[in-house]
Structure 1
Amino acid sequence: MRGHVHKRGNRWAWVVDAGRDPGTGKRKQKTKGGFDTKAAAEMALREFLVDFNSGTYVAPAVTTLAEYLDEWLVTSATHVRPTTQAGYRKDVANICTKIGGVRLGSLAPQQIEKAYAELMATGGVSGRPLAPKTVKNVHTVLRRALGDAERLGLVSRNVVRQVRPPTAVRPEIVTWSAGEVRRFLDSVEDHRLRAVVVVLATTGMRRGEVMGLRWGDVDLEAGRMAVEQTLNTVNDKLSFGPVKTAKSRRRLSLDRQTIDALRRHRAEQDAERKRFGAGWGADGLDLVFRDQLGGPVHPDRFTRQFKTLVRQAGLPELRGPHNLRHTWATLALEAGVHPKVVSERLGHSTISITLDTYSHVVPSMDADAAAIVAASIFTGA
């Protein structure tokens, strides 16, 4: 089998002579275009010939990328959490606005990189330019989807592996000082969901984990709490599910103030149930935190409420209650709590995630380490 490259308009393409069709006698050719340079086309031609001659060549799928991704979303839904699946759908919708009509088997790395650039310049479904971090998420999903296509033999290789994703700049993590946390707790002293804020601030739990907390998970006598389930919201619909990862399933010790706040909250919740009748909160969910109607506290609505309370308290604005998790981790590391303990309380899968996420604390830890060791050497302290 022989082939050559040639220029087609402003792009390059390769063509391979595949002999004659035994039925019609007509000459058959395989071709692929869309390459920016002659060198890129020649490299692709060499890869095709190697695959063909080794028997690993897979004929290009006639289905489009959009058609394949629609099917992939259906099959992948059984392996991921609802919130993850919702994110997949957004990422797929965005990439399909640019290259959804391209045949799956004809997709080239250059097309994908151009699509990424267009998403950041002109936007996707929303019509607004997407941040590099968002496009990097698109890249991650597309690589996973095309990896499955390769595994299933729908394509000969996952071309996304050759694509360079955009560099995402990590946003600065905004946290409060211990004094600012106290000010906020004082400002919500009489709020019916004050205990939510206390738990968020003193445990480092995720918002959904706190909203999914059950009284059966809490042992106030022993001062321990089990993190077992989370309350998710997808398209404004609530669903309970397991926590994020195996490491997220954990046991947490509670401090005296948090125990007192939960005791007070339970007494107030019992009073509400008596005031509104036996039907209030009678759903069998055993939730620690409920809204005024007795149902689960909607995480997104709580976030909006939280931001309003922060503004009313005159404190530095936070993106949401998740920043209390960042605040807890920062305060713990600054206080000298071992990073391994911080990582386990946060439910991170590895300690490296903790240290990478809170790298802004590392310089002060390094300075403390230098001073402590020097004091031990020079003063015997």
Structure 2
Amino acid sequence: MLKDRQSPLESEVSPSMRLSELSTLWFEEIESNGRAGRRTIDGYKDTYRRVISPALAGLRLNELSTGRLDRFLKNVAADHPATARHSKVVLTGILGLAVRHDAIHSNPIREVARIKVATKDVQALSVEDVLKLRAVIRQWQDDSDHRGRPRASDLLDVVNIFLATGARIGEVLAIRWQDVDLQASPATITISGTVVMERERDTYRQAKPKTKAGFRTVKLPPFAEQTLRRKYIVEQPADDAMLFPSSTGTVRSPNNFRRQWRDARSGSEYEWVTPHVFRKSVATLIDREYSSKDAAAQLGHSGTAITEKHYIARATESPDLTKALEQFAGHEVVDGPTM
């Protein structure tokens, strides 16, 4: 019989199934097929638990119309547009499972109104800003008044590698000494992993970067090479040692680094500077001196679109319309000396 040949999943998914039941099946599927990383899945689950479930979990699939989903997402977007967009991604995946198993004819989420998220201007540090910020961090590191909290003594070194590579915080904290080649000319660092934080698991080094294009070898400017040579002489590390370990010699948590970074810049004019700002600063400088293609390669992007949209700070430049605008002068001749 046909019923006997059906898989358990095919027989379970039906128009009368509730979203809560379907979501369980979808999360099981994406965890087993390996297409999404642990952090991505945890993010999906968090969005479902906090945002989607309270409003929609009890509804059956045949009750989830495009109009109902559109109203739900608009209500979320009124206060939290980014959360609404993420909710749309999760719902698209969950309801896509129902489509694939013929429980519904089409995915109702695909026809909801577009969720607009305001884009923020890219903020990057100038060369002068970097010099001033370095002085702020150096003073913080040298301050003997620790106020009961131990201070990281290597923040300036981490900043130098941020500025020399344009790497993400997780990528920088995942660098091992075996990824560093001080014999090359110029010296290089190979970005070959990233630090991952998962629920119910200690922070660990993932043996691949965030994206396929993120696996790259970057050439280091002299200031970064000098930083690494000094560290190597002082520390005499093993090849498999982390370049910037935790206080106990293990993989350093990005959250712990961010806390140290907040302490270091607190009260200064650079409180707005997060580790990601260094990545944008590198992209902006390389774009200005070379090209956006070079900036994308340095950052580990597969193309220039994301780099140009989210990482390069530039003023809008109008086309040369001076000939047209000169018509406003008429026959007037401006007397006096010219500059």
Shorter-chain TM-score: what band? 0.7 to 0.9
Match for 2:274: what amino acid?
G
Pairs aligned (count):
290
Distance 2:55 2:170 in 1: 34
Give SS of 2:214's match.
Answer: coil
Counterpart of 2:58 in structure 1 is 101
Q: Does 1:225 align with 2:174?
A: no
Give SS of 2:314's match.
Answer: helix
Distance 2:126 2:233 in 1: 30
Counterpart of 1:343 in structure 2 is 296
Give SS of 1:294's match.
Answer: coil
Q: Does the CA contact (< 8 Å) of 2:286 and 2:294 recur in 1?
A: no
Match for 1:154: what amino acid?
A
The TM-score normalised by the length of structure 2 is: 0.78
Give 1:340 deviation, angstroms. 0.7
- Could you tell me which runs of 5 or more consecutive residues in structure 2 were left unpaired when the two chains were aligned: 1-12, 142-152, 322-339
Identity among equivalent pairs (%): 25
Counterpart of 1:240 in structure 2 is 205
Q: Does 1:112 align with 2:69?
A: yes
Q: Does the CA contact (< 8 Å) of 1:113 and 1:165 recur in 2?
A: no
Q: Does 1:159 align with 2:108?
A: yes
- Could you tell me which runs of 5 or more consecutive residues in structure 1 were left unpaired when the two chains were aligned: 1-58, 122-128, 274-281, 371-381
The TM-score normalised by the length of structure 1 is: 0.70
Give SS of 1:185's match.
Answer: helix
Give 1:192 deviation, angstroms. 2.5
More strand by share: 1
Q: Does 1:209 align with 2:181?
A: no
Counterpart of 2:305 in structure 1 is 352
Give 1:337 deviation, angstroms. 1.6
Give 1:152 deviation, angstroms. 3.2
Let me know the Cα RMSD of the aligned residues: 2.6
Q: Does 1:257 align with 2:223?
A: yes
Counterpart of 2:263 in structure 1 is 308
After superposition, give the CA deviation of every residue in 1:115-159 in whole Å (9 maximum; x if it has no partner): 1133345xxxxxxx5x20121111122113322332233322111
Match for 2:214: what amino acid?
S
Give SS of 1:345's match.
Answer: helix
- Which of the pair has the greater relative contact order for Cα pairs under 8 Å at 6+ separation? 2
Give 1:285 deviation, angstroms. 4.9
Counterpart of 2:281 in structure 1 is 327
Distance 2:278 2:313 in 1: 16
Give SS of 1:209's match.
Answer: helix
Counterpart of 2:38 in structure 1 is 82
Mapping of residues 179-198 of structure 1, within 5 Å: 179-189=128-138, 191-198=153-160
Give SS of 2:293's match.
Answer: helix
Distance 1:66 1:307 in 2: 39
Match for 1:264: what amino acid?
R
Distance 1:152 1:243 in 2: 34
Q: Does the CA contact (< 8 Å) of 1:211 and 1:299 recur in 2?
A: yes
Give SS of 1:247's match.
Answer: helix
Distance 2:292 2:22 in 1: 43
Give SS of 2:189's match.
Answer: strand
After superposition, give the CA deviation of every residue in 1:349-371 in whole Å (9 maximum; x if it has no partner): 2111112224641635x78x99x
Q: Does the CA contact (< 8 Å) of 1:307 and 1:317 recur in 2?
A: yes
Give 1:331 deviation, angstroms. 2.2
Distance 1:287 1:133 in 2: 35
Q: Does the CA contact (< 8 Å) of 1:150 and 1:157 recur in 2?
A: yes
Distance 1:154 1:220 in 2: 59
Distance 1:299 1:285 in 2: 19
Distance 1:338 1:137 in 2: 32
Give 1:60 deviation, angstroms. 4.6
